[in-house]
Structure 1
Amino acid sequence: NTSYKKGSFSGNLGFSSFETKNDRPNSNFNNLSASFLIDKKMSDNLYFNLLGIGYRSDFGSVGATYSEDYDNFQETEQYLISPQINYSDDDFRASLTFSISKDDLLGQRDISDKTQSFTDEQSVDLIIENQFTDNFLLTIGSGYSNTKFEEDGLSPFAPSPWKEGNSWEQKSGSIGFHAKLSEINEVSGNIRYDDYSDFDNPLTYDFRINTSVHESITTFLKHSIGYAPPTALDLYGFGPWYPGNPNLVAEESKNYEVGFNYNYTEKNYWGLTYFYTDYENLIDSTPQNINETSTNGFEMSSRNYLSDYFQINSSITMLRSKNKDSGEGFLDRRPELFGLISLIYEKEVLMIGTEFISKYRTKEKDFNQASAPWFKIVDADDYTVARLFSSYKFKNSFEINARIENLFDKEYSEVHGYPALGRAFHAELNYSF
């Protein structure tokens, strides 16, 4: 990864090669990726940048432990190009972004059993911000996107050759604000309208109130409603082996949050949030819509400096879920307790840290069943895994980053039947000039 800056030009160029050789047969993974970012200052207020990202990956998709496949593999190629124009002065800011991306995915067991999918997406977004007064900011946005998806292939389990797909359009407009009502009260909100070619045309919003009850304590209330159409993978799956559901409808949600933040120094804080969300037509992993579900729980986060150089950070979520259709007190792959704790030492050119990530009490589907409904609910693995990470900046503009994942080589599965990787070492070199 290299960085460059001279006059009104600046840029960044990155290249990455990643390879794993795993204990399970037919599960090796290779990835090549490259990216660039070019910035040009056109005038005192006008900027242009161009972002490009591309990658290719190949891996053996051995599948679940109860149904291993030693011949299946997947190849993926993807790229994104995105130019952007930004304008900014003291009170007015605007950005216009265009992006185009393409994705090509091939999955194959043998010459007569393969699936290839193509996704082509183009989008344009305009965002305008105006600081009318010191206490009032107005934001206006609009956007358009067009997505084309096509999938075809050969299979002994479907009429061959088969082909399916669709295209979707989305138009959107939004208006948002942030207002300081007094020394202790602030409000913010957004209203958004979306026009989907294949789904409803929803009006969604979010609204938040912040109140400073003490110089170190801020409380907040938040309410929002959301709308999420199914993805192409939800609708069409990936070939006859992993079918989708073209009859899915969009998810709708209502969310409520209340909490507080305690900033007892400039660098240190504690936060606690209670949240409750009702869903209609939640899309599960089958995939199918569940008429009514809900989740609620607490989220705690903190950042505490033990000294000028040591800090300890944490984020812990306690979650309860309910399927109101069946009465079950859980939802697929939603743990009741998960979070992380990290300890970091940082001084001048050196940073080193460790992090512990945990997940407990999770229900999920085991698809190793011989008859309908083809799955049963099981307890997922509980686990705590550790990682180490570090970086060092040299005087000659070089920087090295390194990390060790799954430090103690723990055996566990994040998804039932799919073992996680063992201990792995990663390194990265950056150069700026």
Structure 2
Amino acid sequence: MTNLNYEQTRIPENQAATTTRPDQRRSLIATGVGNLLEWFDWAVYAVFATYISGALFDKADPVSALLGTLAVFAVGFVMRPLGGWFFGRLADKKGRKWVLMVTMLTMAGGSLMIALIPSYETIGGFASVLLVLARLIQGFAHGGESTASNVYLPEIAPKNKRAIFGSTIGVAMSGGTLLATLFGRLLAQQLEPVDMATWGWRIPFFFGALLALAVLWLRRNMMESEVHTEHVEATGTTLQEKTVALPNWSRGKIFSRSVQIFFYMAGTTLPYYIWSSYAAVFAISQHGMDPAAAFGATLGAMLINIALTPIMGWVSDKIGRRPPVIFYNLATAALTFPMFAMINDSAWTLFVAQSVMMGISACIAGTQPAMMAEQVPTAYRTLIMGTAMPLAVALFGGTAPYLNTYFNSVDLGWAFNVYMIAVCLGSAFVVWRWKETKGIDLRDVR
């Protein structure tokens, strides 16, 4: 009888609508702009890695300094699973909106800290220590932001527009990376190398910290997720009602789905970090490409990715989640060796390689939030996505630039390529086994 009452009295899910309400659009914009700033703060570190290594590490061994800088990049990812779990739990208690405001301010604080760190010549190794601390703070915030955003947007979206709503995150990821790359290109063109090395690289970190105030103003009027609110109301009364609202998942099934999400994310995040944030650094450090030209090539490729991402979200809402994702994994595996082999010291080679790979990546950016939300019930959505997703990003995305640099430094670049291909094929296998979930009611996920 309780089940009947619950089903009859629950508010119709906003996803069932075929139109987008003003508060949904407002929340979509606020989330997207905040995501763009978060990804700018995150990506700008990779874009300016060569300059950071010279300013905050011992310059006696340039290769060692660059590896140290990239190791710190990876260290920042270590905190992402913890941030995803911590803020994911808070998102269940205080709501998605509250978490999205707190994580944005925390990320901006980490950027301001990096901008103010004295140079290695001034305070010695303590500069590197402060850099590690700042990246840990950013990683903690980024894990929470990514988790909350990937849960929030699919939950507030109409169910027939869930992928295109979620594609906002993909646009923000590439947009933030593009903005960071644009800073790199403009500063490399306008500043003398000595100025760029001493203080110019700090400018984008100041910029990111200051923009946080504008984002906070935008996010103050976001709506709360109705799916989350209904779930809290349904589970906050009696145990009998709670058993109705919660799917009957054993610990084994929770673990199994977490592992699946982990390997799915591994195949999406590893190539993305290589081709979006690190490809220009690879071309500069391994092939001697002019920095301004390399950043310009990356800008063009990122624009292609941004343009294609919402299109792929629209396509996914029409044909389903699985076809675009499986195509992405197989195409990435097939093209990894040819695209790396194409890059030399000419900027056009980097542009072509990045454009192809980032164009393919739009298949993921346009589908990922919707696909993951539809694979996990509301009761476990932040738990699973807040742990499996950032853990995969940390282990595969965070280590990607370091491993690529290391293997190429010992003439084993092919080994990294094989590694990336294997990860993509594993991700494709996971998605191939999943059922198609396009348009499913998120409260009915079992």
TM-score (norm 1): 0.22
Structure having the larger proportion of residues in strand: 1
Structure having the larger proportion of residues in helix: 2
